[in-house]
Structure 1
């Protein structure tokens, strides 16, 4: 494992003097001194325990700062402090002869820095985690055959596909020109399913996404997971799990646990570049006002039965289906009054109505709201116009990618 530290140290400045540690006066001098002490230890022969202790003090102190109030009000300086703490902890874990468990702990530490911190030193944590992940792959044995058998069983189970009446079906069109899409769907804000526009994605052909593939490229990575079948449920919560833990617990149900978990987040593709390289923003996004950097890309991975309650988003949306199928229903923003949005500011963009089992006494106008619906299959891309209400239910194990753009 000595070669592991040589690879990591090659990414760092050659000496302590070249290692940047500059903060505004928002960061207490005592914290800056602790950072400088950890920097010194990075280039000296301190004990592993001493390095770990100082790094953990930095992490604990900055973690409190990150969790003192609303996330958007957290000063970026404290996010940078947290990232430096993660870097120093990785140094403490990997400096000598790390065990396999210590390498995994270092991967998690990098992920926490990527999720909660801010980029430092040309986003060095992202580069380090790739080196660590390669080390994990070398030492990881082939997946248990029982896992593969269970994954294949899940794929073979046929979902119950709802019957879509022709008059309610979202229209489908194959590879329309930019001008045709703009005139017939974007400007009038009409939902449509676009066929044949993502067939070139590696995620659909060169190395199709699957449980096995996700394990191979991201199994040891720590990601945010939504626990609960829908975010409006009282028991809904969020937690951090490795991708392997998520698959074992909520896809394969290895521990016999109940409940539904859903990997739904916009940072997955920044965290795991291998997955980002497997997809491409639809060409039609160029009709928007921003450039490609302004597109928000979200991952949605979970078992059948997961529901996104009827809600609306403030941007245009292309929902691309990669694995499995989903039932989707859409309502025009013109019928918002019939959809009974929550009164609270937090959920004002979400309907109170349970779409497929509505309470007609509480919500009598809901039945009068016209809608269109569809079943999205692998390779389909649904255009969801800005502020159009949409309800989504996974019919089986499903992986989708959404592109939000203005």
Structure 2
């Protein structure tokens, strides 16, 4: 991994004066002192062990602040402190030509900052990831070149039969409606609809066809939060940080754990710009009240059999299907009393009913609830109105993108 340290230095600020450390009074003076000492080391005689040691101290101090109370109440300055701690640790790890394993650990540290911290120094952590990723890619041999390398598992396509949709209950389909038509016929009356032909131009379909191999290539070494469990209402449900490659190997390729893990997160496209460049925000979002920065983009990647229990969201939603198929059932807000939402504040937006196998003794009114249903195919975009209840089950390996807007 020769040359890494020189390239890392090249993207760092050229002098102390170009590396300001300005924080509000919420940040302890003792922490600020360690930040300044570590920064100054960069421009004197850099010692890798100092950067790693002080970086860990800064990360530990800020980690406590990041995990006190609710996330929205975390002071942004403490998130920035955490990012600086990660940056200093990575600098130490990159000194002197790191091994591939150490480079992977440095990438993971950058990802922790991108997930938990805040942007610093013109998004330097993202630039560091790009640099380290390229070094790792060049250094690691392919399995074709290295006979000692174990052969990767082959993906066994595990598709489920497509449910028979009652025509009378099916969600209507419309091909590329005009903006005003969509507004008057679906947005204003809050009616679900499948929009056809509006994402065919995405690079994800034309230039960089999304697949397991492509995801490995652009994001395999990136660390992301993964949901473990068949659905989030199960008692054994949890979250774990894994690389995308680890997730694919353990929860996509391994038949024994298939359906027990799901990559669902809103920061994937910020973490991996290559994926964000493969999609486009639907034009219909311009009918909302906010601007483009107010739109939340979520990634949903998982094997067949993955279920999102019947729930509702507080914003309008365009669910774009890129890979695989999904069975979806929708209930209007008017049906809420028949859907038996959980009584707890945490799950008040989620039904207690197993939609495809309901306990009609425990939930007798559920069978009274009217609904619509559909199978979403690659290239389809489903408009799910605000607070419309929806249940989702993946029929194949699936990659979807949702756009939440107001």
What TM-score results when the alignment is normalised by the length of structure 1? Answer: 0.96
For each residue in 1:289-328, what CA deviation from the matched residue of structure 2 results, as whole angstroms up to 9, or x when unmatched? 1111111100000011111000011111000000011000
For each residue in 1:8-56, what CA deviation from the matched residue of structure 2 results, as whole angstroms up to 9, or x when unmatched? 2222221223311111221111111111121122223243222211111
Taking a change above 3 Å as real, the CA distance of residues 92 and 177 of structure 1, as seen in their structure-2 partners, is same
The residue number in structure 1 matching 2:59 is: 59
SS in 1 for 2:164: coil
For each residue in 1:322-380, what CA deviation from the matched residue of structure 2 results, as whole angstroms up to 9, or x when unmatched? 00110000001011101111111111111111100111011111101100100011001
The residue number in structure 1 matching 2:305 is: 305
For each residue in 1:149-207, what CA deviation from the matched residue of structure 2 results, as whole angstroms up to 9, or x when unmatched? 722x32xx442110101111111111111111111111111111111111001111211
Q: Tell which deviates more after alignment, 209-218 or 116-125.
A: 116-125
Contact 1:110 1:126 in 2 (8 A): yes
Taking a change above 3 Å as real, the CA distance of residues 340 and 65 of structure 1, as seen in their structure-2 partners, is same
Q: Which runs of structure 2 are paired with 1:67-146 in the superposition (5 Å)? A: 67-142=67-142
> How far 1:95 moved relative to its partner?
2.0
Distance in 2 of aligned mates of 1:91 and 1:186: 50
SS in 1 for 2:206: coil
The residue number in structure 2 matching 1:391 is: 391
Residues 1:363 and 2:367 are matched in the alignment: no
Residues 1:150 and 2:151 are matched in the alignment: no
Matched positions, count:
402
The residue number in structure 2 matching 1:252 is: 253
Where does the alignment leave 5 or more consecutive residues of structure 1 unmatched?
none
Taking a change above 3 Å as real, the CA distance of residues 88 and 141 of structure 1, as seen in their structure-2 partners, is same
Contact 1:298 1:402 in 2 (8 A): yes
Taking a change above 3 Å as real, the CA distance of residues 378 and 42 of structure 1, as seen in their structure-2 partners, is same
Contact 1:295 1:404 in 2 (8 A): yes
SS in 1 for 2:154: helix
Contact 1:16 1:40 in 2 (8 A): yes
For each residue in 1:245-276, what CA deviation from the matched residue of structure 2 results, as whole angstroms up to 9, or x when unmatched? 0000000118x557611000000001100000
The residue number in structure 1 matching 2:241 is: 240
The residue number in structure 2 matching 1:331 is: 331
Q: Which runs of structure 2 are paired with 1:246-325 in the superposition (5 Å)? A: 246-253=247-254, 257=257, 260-325=260-325
The residue number in structure 2 matching 1:210 is: 211
> How far 1:146 moved relative to its partner?
8.2
Distance in 1 of aligned mates of 2:143 and 2:292: 37
Distance in 2 of aligned mates of 1:11 and 1:187: 49
What TM-score results when the alignment is normalised by the length of structure 2? Answer: 0.96
SS in 1 for 2:335: helix
Give runs of ≥4 in structure 1 deviating > 6 Å: 144-149
For each residue in 1:183-242, what CA deviation from the matched residue of structure 2 results, as whole angstroms up to 9, or x when unmatched? 111111111111111100111121110000000000000011100111111111111100
Residues 1:188 and 2:196 are matched in the alignment: no
SS in 2 for 1:366: helix
RMSD of aligned alpha carbons: 1.6
> How far 1:2 moved relative to its partner?
4.4
> How far 1:80 moved relative to its partner?
0.8
